[in-house]
Each structure stands twice: as C-alpha cells, then as structure tokens.
Amino acid sequence: MNTNPVIIIPGIGQSCLYAEDKNGNRIRRAWPVEMDEKTLMNELKGSLMKMMLFRVDGGFSDKIAKLVDDFTQPLAVNPDGSKKNIIKPVVYEKSFAEYTAAEKKTVCDMLPVDVIAKTVGAEKIFFFAYDFFGDIADTASELDRFVASVKAETGADKVDFIVYSTGGAVFKAYLKDFSVKCDCEKIINVAALLDGASLAADIFENKYHLEDPAGLLSSLGGTAASVSSMAGMLPADVISNVLNKSVTVLRRNILDCCTSLWALVPDSRFDAVFASLNPASALASKVKAQHDYSVGFRAQAKTLAENGMKFFQICGYGKKLPPVVESYDICSDGIADTDSASFGGEFPQTTWYFREQDHLSAFDNDVIVSLIGKILSGEIATNTDSADYPEKNGSRNTKKLRKTLIPKAKIALAEASGDKKAELQACIDEYEKILAETVIVNDENVRNLENRIKASI
C-alpha cells in the first residue's frame, strides 16, 4: 500500500490566478479569464449586426482583438520577459481532506482528484497550484517549499508526484535544482511535456497557418468544432481576420516574451528557435536559463532511477496535431509529442500508451486514472504486471457519465417505475460494467450509454 503523500503538479490553466496590487489586494482574476457575457454582447452587438447585415467585417474583428487584449492584460509580459502585473495563484496549503466543498469542486472540475483520493486517502493528496506564466526557476523553488511543508505536515520522508502536461517543465526544473534532497520517490508523468512540444516551436518560428479558419476550428473538436459550423455562415475574411488579429494580440501580450512558454520548445529545435532573439537582450538571457533545465535532463533522470527514483509515463499516441502547425503529423495526443511524453522511451517497462488519447482529456479516461491508483498503491510496478493494464491500450472519455449523466440517472431511478426504472437500472449497471473493462477496444459503448441515459432521464 502507498505510504507517501502525493503531490499533483497540474498543467497550464489548472491553477486559479489573480492580479494583485502592491498591498496584496486582489484586483481581478487573471486565469481562468473572467468573461461577463452580457458585457461581451454589449461590446460586440453593433459591429456584429453590421457584419451580418452587410456581410463585411465592419470593425468586428477589431472589437474581438480589443476584447482579447483586455482579457489577457493581467497576464501580459514585458519585452524583457518580466511580468507587467503581480500575479498570485490561489494556493492550497493543506490536504484534499481539509478542502472546503467549494475548494473541492474547483479542483475536481479540473482534475479528478476525488477519484485518485479514493485509492491513497484524501489526507495524502496535495494540489500544487502555481503561476505557469511566471519564471520556471521561481516555480521550482515554490514547489520545493511546498514539498517541505507536505513532508512536515504528514511526517513522511518522501513524496510522490503526479505530473500533468506543462507541469513537466516545472518538474524538470525542480529535479535539476532540488533532486539532491531526494525528496520524491515515484513520479507519474501523465501526458507530461518532458521535452516540450513541437506545437510551441512552430508558434515561435511562425510555422502555423490560419488560411482555413473553419477547417481549423473543426479539427480542434469540442466547442471549437461547433463554432466552425457557425463560421461557415460568416464572410470568410471575417473569421480569418478574427483569428489573425487575436493571435497577434496574444503573441504581443504573452506568447513571444513568456519565458515559461519558451521552456516548452523541444531541445532538438531550441537553437533554431532561439536564433530569432537578440542574443544580447534580457529576454534571450532568461530564455537560455529556462532551456538549461532541459540540457542533460534524460541523463539525470536515468541516474536518479539507478539510485531508486521511479519514473512512470502515461501518454497518448496516434492522434495528430491540428493542421494549423507544420508538425501536425507527428504521432501525439493532439498537443504533446509522444516522444516527449514517453521520456523518449528511456523507461520502457514503466510506460503505457493510449491510442488516440486526447491530451486535454487524459484524466477523463477512467482507465488512466485507475492505472495511476494502481501505481501509487504499488499493485503495478511495470507494464507487464497486469493484463488489465497493457502497455498499449485504447482511449475513452467517461467524464460526462461520471459527473453528470450517472448522477442524474440515479436521481431519476428513485422516482421511476416500470420500464423506465428497469432501463435506468440497466444503464447504471452498464456503466459499472464499462468501468470494470480496463482493456479498451473503442469508446462506442460509452457513447451509446450516454445516448441511452439522455433518452431516459
């Protein structure tokens, strides 16, 4: 049974950030972006009506760009890589067991911490909130302090990490600066950017294309895909203008000078991307310092593993990047290159691959979450320990069932009778059957069950 406390290092966008004044008073939320729909529509309605009526831009794209500028100002970065504002994350200096109901909801809306807690105990789960848009070295120091506080609170000698997505960049910096303390034992990397992402390098090298905005939105899936059908009804140049002007604002405010985003450039492409900077600039100096955390990282990890540190990798493969970037055909999970997330294959016995697994919904795959629990508890140490968790598996997304549809079905079951009651119970039973089947062929049974429940509640 696992005895170490577990620290979750989330990805970009999974910590709540606030802009503060010099006295520590909150000014506004910086991330997730605060968006008042009523105010938004009031800002857009004039140019929107003009565009729809006359089928011309009519200033609509400029309005959108202005809103993007307003929304991103709290996170804006100076040309030298420093932050324009004081940004602080909402931190949780306690275990998940001590969270308020509101805190649990906030965290669990991002990652299924509650499910993971069932395996190791809520009192052993800790969530490290941080400002990813800040300096990676500072964040690594914050993580070191957080580890020390967790050890002090729990009396543990070591901690385990669950590292997700861009949390991989933070993890690398932490190991480089603080691994000498030997504070961590197990590291479970879930779609972690251990060697950045080709997507980031393409953006910095201007190797992206916005010529087919409707097609781009469609390829992204989810909300973007639904927006693409609306985009088809608008003048082609309008959507193109919106995308281009919005990207220009994002690059000016955040992307081009945010050193933590530069830390996501893969090692093999760094020199070519770095060549675009003035080597004598303050930004170049800071970017180089970020890159130093990647130099020799794999060799360091191998040495640490030989000395007892345990590395586990869970990653996707076979899902292409959106065609907006030149490296779209790299085998990946839609964002992270498989080679990056798998640690370059350095630890073959402790790496699991999930076919067509989408990066943003990695934790919505119940098998991945279940596997994490098995690794933490010590039930699984290699990818050959259990036929139920093979080295190569499929993917599925059961979040909608777990968080919405099954709870609604259980409520409806209590008031139902006859055939409806029988069908609802059958749906709940089918859900439990799906969860028990950890070798995934496809997600057709999940989608069928979603439709059955929707038709019954």
Q: Are 228 and 343 part of one and the same domain?
A: no
Indicate the DSSP class of residue 112.
-
Q: Which amino acid is at 5?
A: P
Dihedral (CA of 219, 220, 221, 227) sign: negative
Q: Are 382 and 408 part of one and the same domain?
A: no
pLDDT, tens digit (0-9, with 9 covering 90-100), for 296-340: 999 999 999 999 999 999 999 999 887 888 998 888 999 999 999
Query: Domain end: 340, 362, 393, which one?
Result: 393
Q: Are 26 and 79 part of one and the same domain?
A: yes
User: Rounded distance, CA 98 to CA 44, Å?
Assistant: 43
Q: If you average pLDDT over residues 413-427, what whole number do you get?
A: 96
pLDDT, tens digit (0-9, with 9 covering 90-100), for 378-389: 999 999 999 999
What would the two tokens of residue 85 be? 């504002």
Q: 12 lies in a domain?
A: yes
What would the two tokens of residue 110 be? 């991002």
Query: Domain end: 375, 393, 411, which one?
Result: 393
Q: If you average pLDDT over residues 407-433, what whole number do you get?
A: 97
Residue recorded with tokens 């600066």: 177
Give the CATH number of the domain where residue 168 resides: 3.40.50.1820
HSE (CB half, 13 Å, CA atoms) of 194? Answer: 29
pLDDT, tens digit (0-9, with 9 covering 90-100), for 142-199: 999 999 999 999 999 999 999 999 999 999 999 999 999 999 999 999 999 999 999 9
Residues 6+ apart with CB under 8 A from 365: 354, 357, 395, 396, 397, 398
Q: Are 234 and 346 part of one and the same domain?
A: no
The pLDDT of residue 227: 47
The pLDDT of residue 220: 47
Total-model pTM: 0.93
Q: Are 311 and 370 part of one and the same domain?
A: yes
User: Rounded distance, CA 430 to CA 400, Å?
Assistant: 15
pLDDT, tens digit (0-9, with 9 covering 90-100), for 335-381: 999 999 999 999 999 999 999 999 999 999 999 999 999 999 999 99
pLDDT, tens digit (0-9, with 9 covering 90-100), for 247-271: 999 999 999 999 999 999 999 999 9
Residues 6+ apart with CB under 8 A from 352: 312, 313, 314, 315, 371, 383, 389, 390, 391, 392, 393
The pLDDT of residue 218: 52
Q: Residue 264's CB: how many other CB atoms inside 10 A?
A: 26
Q: Which residue did the predictor score with more confidence, 71 or 235?
A: 71
User: Rounded distance, CA 190 to CA 168, Å?
Assistant: 9
At 164, give phi and psi (nearest 5°).
Answer: -120, 135
Q: 98 lies in a domain?
A: yes
The pLDDT of residue 238: 82
Q: Are 11 and 138 part of one and the same domain?
A: yes
User: Rounded distance, CA 231 to CA 208, Å?
Assistant: 20
Q: Which residue did the predictor score with more confidence, 406 or 329?
A: 406
Domain that holds residue 44: 17-84+199-291
Q: If you average pLDDT over residues 136-145, what whole number do you get?
A: 97
Compute the C-alpha angle 271/262/71, nearest 5°.
150
pLDDT, tens digit (0-9, with 9 covering 90-100), for 187-227: 999 999 999 999 999 999 999 887 665 555 554 444 444 44
Q: 237 lies in a domain?
A: yes
Query: Domain end: 276, 291, 306, which one?
Result: 291
Mean per-residue pLDDT over the chain, rounded = 91
pLDDT, tens digit (0-9, with 9 covering 90-100), for 88-118: 999 999 999 999 999 999 999 989 999 999 9
Query: In this structure, what is the dihedral angle of CA atoms 398, 402, 405, 407, given to the nearest 10 degrees?
Result: 170
| Closest by Cα among 263, 291, 266, 287 to 277 | 287
Q: Are 172 and 302 part of one and the same domain?
A: yes
The pLDDT of residue 223: 45
Q: 1 lies in a domain?
A: no
Ranked by mean pLDDT, the top range of 29-33, 42-46, 135-139 is: 135-139
> Residue 349 burial by CB count (10 A; 0-12/13-18/19+): exposed, middle or buried?
exposed
pLDDT, tens digit (0-9, with 9 covering 90-100), for 40-62: 677 777 777 777 777 778 888 89
Q: 419 lies in a domain?
A: yes
| Closest by Cα among 74, 82, 136, 85 to 264 | 136
User: Rounded distance, CA 188 to CA 429, Å?
Assistant: 31
Query: In this structure, what is the dihedral angle of CA atoms 298, 300, 304, 307, given to the nearest 10 degrees?
Result: 120
| Closest by Cα among 86, 75, 81, 76 to 287 | 81
Q: Are 283 and 310 part of one and the same domain?
A: no
Provide DSSP, 216-284: HHHHH-HHHHHHHHHHTTS-HHHHHHHHHHHHHHHHHHTGGG-HHHHTTS-GGGHHHHHTTS-TTSHHH
Please count the structural domains in the chain. 3
CB 397 within 8 A of CB 365: yes
CA distances from 395 to 168, 355, 406, 447 (A): 22, 6, 20, 13
User: Rounded distance, CA 434 to CA 374, Å?
Assistant: 18
Q: Are 11 and 110 part of one and the same domain?
A: yes
Q: What percent of the chain has pLDDT over 90?
A: 80
CB 60 within 8 A of CB 51: yes
The pLDDT of residue 213: 59
Q: Are 384 and 284 part of one and the same domain?
A: no
The pLDDT of residue 10: 97
The pLDDT of residue 25: 96
Q: Are 191 and 307 part of one and the same domain?
A: yes
Q: Are 12 and 139 part of one and the same domain?
A: yes
The pLDDT of residue 93: 94
Q: 220 lies in a domain?
A: yes
Q: Which amino acid is at 25?
A: N
Q: Is residue 233 very low, low, confident or very high in pLDDT (cuts 50, 70, 90)?
A: low
